A and B are shown apart, each in its own frame.
Chain A
Amino acid sequence: MLIELIVKDLKVFFSDRRALVISMLVPIGIACFMAGIFGNAGQSTQDAKLSLLVVDQDSSDLTKNVLDNLNKTRGLSVSVVSEETAAGEIKDGKIAAALVMRKGFGTQAEAAITGGPKPVLDLLSDPSKGVEVQAIQGAMMQPLVAGVFGGGPAMKPPFEVRDQPQGVKTDSKGATQAHVFAGMAVQGLLFFSIEAAMGIMRERKLGIWKRIRAAPVSSMMLLLARIASGTVRALAILIGVFGFGIIAFHIKVGGSWIGLGLIALAAAIMASTFGIFVAALGRNEQQSRGLAIFVVLTMTMLGGAWFPSFMMPDWVQKLSLVIPVKWAVDGFDAMTWRGSDLSTVPVAVGALLVFALIFGVIALTRFRWDVETA
Chain B
Amino acid sequence: MLEVKDLRKRFGNLEAVKGVSFEVAKGICYGLLGPNGAGKTTTISVIVGTLEPDGGTVTVLGKRVGLDQYDAKRHIGYVPQELAVYDELSAKDNLRFFASLYGLSGQAMTSAIDKALEVTSLTERAKEPVKRFSGGMKRRLNIGIALLHSPELLVLDEPTVGVDPQSRNAIFDTLRLLQDEGMTLLYTTHYMEEAEKMCQRVAVMDHGEIVAEDTIGGLQKLVPAKNCVRVELDSAPTAPISFPIEVKSHEVVDTTITIEIDDLTTDLAPVLETLRGQGLKIAAVESHETSLEEVFLHLTGKNLRD
A interface residues with partner B (beta carbon < 8 Å):
205-208, 210-219, 369-370, 372-374
Are A374 and B39 also in contact (CB < 8 A) when A214-B48, A215-B102, A216-B73 are? Answer: yes
Residue in B closest to A373 when the chains form the complex, CB atoms: B41
| Per-position binary interface string of chain B over residues 49-91, scored 1 when its CB falls under 8 Å from any chain A CB and 0 otherwise | 1110000000000000001101101101010111111100000
- Does B14 sit within 8 A of A, measured CB to CB? yes
Residue in A closest to B103 when the chains form the complex, CB atoms: A216
Lowest 8 A-B CB distances belong to which pairs?
Answer: A207-B82, A216-B70, A374-B16, A215-B101, A207-B84, A211-B84, A214-B78, A207-B80
Q: Across the interface, do B70 and A210 meet the contact criterion of CB distance under 8 Å?
A: no
Q: Across the interface, do A214 and B76 meet the contact criterion of CB distance under 8 Å?
A: yes
Chain B's nearest CB lies how many Å from the CB of A351? 34
Q: Across the interface, do A370 and B50 meet the contact criterion of CB distance under 8 Å?
A: yes
The docked-state distance in angstroms from the alpha carbon of A207 to that of B145 is 13
List 17 extra interface pairs beyond A206-B84, A214-B73, A372-B11, CB under 8 A: A207-B83, A208-B86, A210-B45, A210-B50, A210-B80, A213-B50, A214-B49, A214-B76, A215-B98, A216-B73, A216-B101, A216-B103, A217-B101, A373-B41, A374-B37, A374-B39, A374-B41
Which of A205, A211, A214, A369 has the most chain B CB atoms inside 10 A of its CB?
A214
Residue in A closest to B157 when the chains form the complex, CB atoms: A207
Q: Across the interface, do A206 and B70 meet the contact criterion of CB distance under 8 Å?
A: no
- Does B208 sit within 8 A of A, measured CB to CB? yes
Chain B residues whose C-beta falls within 8 Å of the C-beta of A218 in the assembled complex: 68
Tell me whether chain B's interface is mostly helix, strand or loop, or mixed: loop
Residue in B closest to A222 when the chains form the complex, CB atoms: B101
- Does B189 sit within 8 A of A, measured CB to CB? no
Residue in A closest to B76 when the chains form the complex, CB atoms: A214
Count of B interface residues, CB-CB < 8 Å: 35
Contact sample, A vs B, 7 pairs, CB 8 Å cutoff: A205-B82, A206-B84, A215-B73, A215-B98, A373-B37, A373-B41, A374-B14
Partner of B102, one of A208, A210, A216: A216
- Does B42 sit within 8 A of A, measured CB to CB? yes
Are A373 and B80 also in contact (CB < 8 A) when A215-B73, A216-B70 are? Answer: no
Q: Across the interface, do A211 and B145 meet the contact criterion of CB distance under 8 Å?
A: yes
Residue in A closest to B68 when the chains form the complex, CB atoms: A218
Chain A residues whose C-beta falls within 8 Å of the C-beta of B103 in the assembled complex: 216
Chain A's nearest CB lies how many Å from the CB of B38? 8
Chain B's nearest CB lies how many Å from the CB of A217? 5
Chain A residues whose C-beta falls within 8 Å of the C-beta of B38 in the assembled complex: 374
Chain A residues whose C-beta falls within 8 Å of the C-beta of B145 in the assembled complex: 211
Chain B's nearest CB lies how many Å from the CB of A220? 10
The docked-state distance in angstroms from the alpha carbon of A35 to that of B176 is 68
Q: Across the interface, do A370 and B81 meet the contact criterion of CB distance under 8 Å?
A: no
Q: Across the interface, do B208 and A374 meet the contact criterion of CB distance under 8 Å?
A: yes
Chain A residues whose C-beta falls within 8 Å of the C-beta of B76 in the assembled complex: 214
Are A372 and B45 also in contact (CB < 8 A) when A210-B50, A214-B78 are? Answer: yes
Chain B residues whose C-beta falls within 8 Å of the C-beta of A214 in the assembled complex: 48-50, 73, 76, 78
Q: Across the interface, do A374 and B101 meet the contact criterion of CB distance under 8 Å?
A: no
Interface members, chain B 106-162 (any A CB < 8 Å): 145
The docked-state distance in angstroms from the alpha carbon of A215 to that of B67 is 10
Q: Across the interface, do B101 and A370 meet the contact criterion of CB distance under 8 Å?
A: no
Chain B's nearest CB lies how many Å from the CB of A369? 7
Chain B residues whose C-beta falls within 8 Å of the C-beta of A212 in the assembled complex: 98, 101
Q: Across the interface, do B11 and A374 meet the contact criterion of CB distance under 8 Å?
A: yes
Residue in B closest to A369 when the chains form the complex, CB atoms: B50
Chain A residues whose C-beta falls within 8 Å of the C-beta of B16 in the assembled complex: 374
Residue in B closest to A371 when the chains form the complex, CB atoms: B82
Residue in B closest to A212 when the chains form the complex, CB atoms: B101
Chain A residues whose C-beta falls within 8 Å of the C-beta of B74 in the assembled complex: 216
The docked-state distance in angstroms from the alpha carbon of A369 to that of B45 is 12
The docked-state distance in angstroms from the alpha carbon of A373 to that of B207 is 13
Chain B residues whose C-beta falls within 8 Å of the C-beta of A217 in the assembled complex: 70, 101
Chain B residues whose C-beta falls within 8 Å of the C-beta of A374 in the assembled complex: 11, 14, 16-17, 37-39, 41-42, 208
Are A208 and B73 also in contact (CB < 8 A) when A213-B50, A373-B41, A373-B42 are? Answer: no
Chain B's nearest CB lies how many Å from the CB of A213? 5
Which of A212, A219, A372 has the most chain B CB atoms inside 10 A of its CB?
A372
The docked-state distance in angstroms from the alpha carbon of A207 to that of B138 is 14
